[in-house]
Amino acid sequence: MGKRSRYDYLIVGAGLYGATFARIVTDRGQRCLVIDQRNRIAGNCYDDATRHHYGPHIFHTSSSKVWAFVNRFTTWTPFDYRTRAIVAGQSYTFPINTTTLRELGLEKLDTVDIPHPANMKEWLLANVGTTCYERFYEGYTTKLWGRDPSRLPASTGKRVPIWKGTSTDYYYDRHQSTPVGGYTAFIQRMLEGIEVRLSCRYPVAGIDYATLVYSGKLDALFNYRYGRLEYRSLSFVQVPHQLHQHAVNYCDKQVPYTRDVDYRHFGGSVTMREYPVLHTDHNVPMYPVRDHVNLDILAKYQALTTPAIVGGRLGSFRYLDMDKVIAQAMHDAV
């Protein structure tokens, strides 16, 4: 019989994907080591008493399996995300609903007949119409993603709901909540009894393991052989004012920031302004840019053979919500 590895799994990344995978395999008696290049756990869900450090996180899901899993580690407070949109100094109800149409002086959405939308712009024109596209989406999207909506996939536009009634809910899902005590504490409990090494970069010499589980940037796993995949990031600046709602979106293209978020509504103590920027080696990758150029590069990496189990938002190069990341890890850990 051959010598057994010290660890069954080396898990790169102590965020939601890595923590979920680690918990599942540990519960069935396997040994794992979780490493993270940052000096803290929780990935981009990291929060403390002041704020969520990488933008507001509202956990939402309609999956009973995912909901049952996350309830093992914390209790949840129902949370209905509320926001407004500012255009040319005027505040509007957002997401779009019948109140928004009244504020715009529209009787109905002035949609364009596009049977098969090929990109985000076409999907929005077909579903929210010309007026709402130009007011709420064109400038905001161009700032956030660094390109015109015509260069983004239709799926990006589908993330924001459109309500035929007066609902101002931001999400469709059955469960919409935040964890009591925050996301860092939630993930800390998920990792209880599991060895975690922080400020530790992959690859690491001298670690004996059987299987690699990787949730970092996919291009980095292959040493950028085909070039770098593009991500967008955010720069955060504290502002002194408080908001009546959770957040305000700034939709004018000439305004350099995209959103103010008041973390007092999330149990924090500050209001932060978000400036979209290109991801570099000096900031955090947050939003994968799935345009045609990046998808071509992605296909080359995905065609490479790797013994690793790869997942999460970075590993998958997909704009995944938290529940989808957890569901992915639950599936991959089987």
Backbone dihedral angles phi then psi of residue 215, each to the nearest 5 degrees: -125, 20
Look at the alpha carbons of 17, 23, 25, 31 in this order and tell me if their dihedral is positive or negative: positive
Torsion of CA 66, 71, 77, 81, to 10 degrees: -20
Q: Which residues, at least 6 apart from 259, have a Cβ–Cβ distance to it below 8 Å?
A: 247, 248, 249, 250, 273, 274
Listed as ranges, residues in the chain with pLDDT below 70 are: 1-3
State in Å, rounded, how far the first CA of the chain is from the last one: 25
- Residues 145, 317, 51, CA angle at the centre, nearest 5°? 65
Task: Give the per-residue pLDDT at 2.
Answer: 54
Cβ distance 198 to 40 under 8 Å?
A: yes
CA distances from 321 to 59, 61, 110, 325 (A): 8, 9, 30, 6
Cβ distance 273 to 236 under 8 Å?
A: yes
Strands (E), 62-108: 76-78, 83-87, 90-94
Backbone dihedral angles phi then psi of residue 154, each to the nearest 5 degrees: -60, -30
CA distances from 92 to 95, 113, 255 (A): 9, 26, 17
Cβ distance 276 to 234 under 8 Å?
A: yes
Report the alpha-carbon distance of residue 316 to residue 15 in Å, rounded. 14
Task: Give the per-residue pLDDT at 3.
Answer: 64
Amino acid in the structure at residue 315: G
Within the chain, which residue ranges are assigned CATH 3.40.50.720? 7-75+180-228+292-332
Task: Give the per-residue pLDDT at 1.
Answer: 46
CA distances from 115 to 112, 175, 179 (A): 9, 33, 41
| Architecture per CATH, 7-75+180-228+292-332 | 3-Layer(aba) Sandwich (3.40)
pTM, full prediction: 0.96
Task: Give the per-residue pLDDT at 59.
Answer: 98
Amino acid in the structure at residue 230: E
Considering only CA atoms, which of 217, 215, 248, 244 is closest in space to residue 230? 217
